[in-house]
Amino acid sequence: EEAVSDERRNIKRRIRSQKEKWESVQRKLQENRKRKMKSEKKARRICKKKMKAANSRNWLKFRELKYNFLARKQVILMSSVYTVPLGTYRVWCLLLSFETFFNARNKKKKYSA
C-alpha cells in the first residue's frame, strides 16, 4: 500500500510539473504574439501617417501647379490674346476640370446634419 501511494504521488507530481511547464510555454507564446501584434499595429500606424503626408504633399504640389498655370495664362492674356499657345490653354482647361473632380484626402469633409 505504501508503494501504491508513493507511485500515485509521483504521478501527481509529474502531471503538476508538466502542467506548469506547459503554462509557462503558453505564457511565453502569448507574450510573443502580443509583441508581434503591437509592432504590426505600430507599423500600420506609421505607414498610414506616411501615406497621409504623401497625399497632402501631392495635393499641395497639384494646387501649386494649377495656380502657376492660371497665373501664366493671365499674364499672357494681359500682354496679348494671340500669344496664348493652344497647348497651354488645353492643359489649363484640363487642370480646371481635374480640380472639380479631385477630392483631397487631407481635407476634412463637412457633413450637414
pLDDT band at 1; cut points 50, 70, 90: confident
Q: pLDDT, tens digit, for every residue of 19-72? A: 999 999 999 999 999 999 999 999 889 888 888 877 776 666 666 666 666 555
- Sequence-separated (6 or more) residues with CB below 8 Å from residue 59: 104, 105, 106, 107
Helices (H), the chain: 2-79, 86-101
Please answer whether residues 62 and 102 qualify as being in contact, where contact means their C-beta atoms are separated by less than 8 angstroms. yes
Residue 4 has pLDDT above 90, yes or no: yes
For residue 111, is it within any domain? no
For residue 62, is it within any domain? yes
Domain limits for position 79? 2-101
Please answer whether residues 84 and 76 qualify as being in contact, where contact means their C-beta atoms are separated by less than 8 angstroms. yes
Please answer whether residues 54 and 38 qualify as being in contact, where contact means their C-beta atoms are separated by less than 8 angstroms. no
For residue 53, is it within any domain? yes
pTM given for the model: 0.40
For residue 110, is it within any domain? no
Q: What is the mean pLDDT of the chain?
A: 72
For residue 107, is it within any domain? no
For residue 108, is it within any domain? no
Which pLDDT belongs to residue 53? 77
How many folded domains does the chain comprise?
A: 1
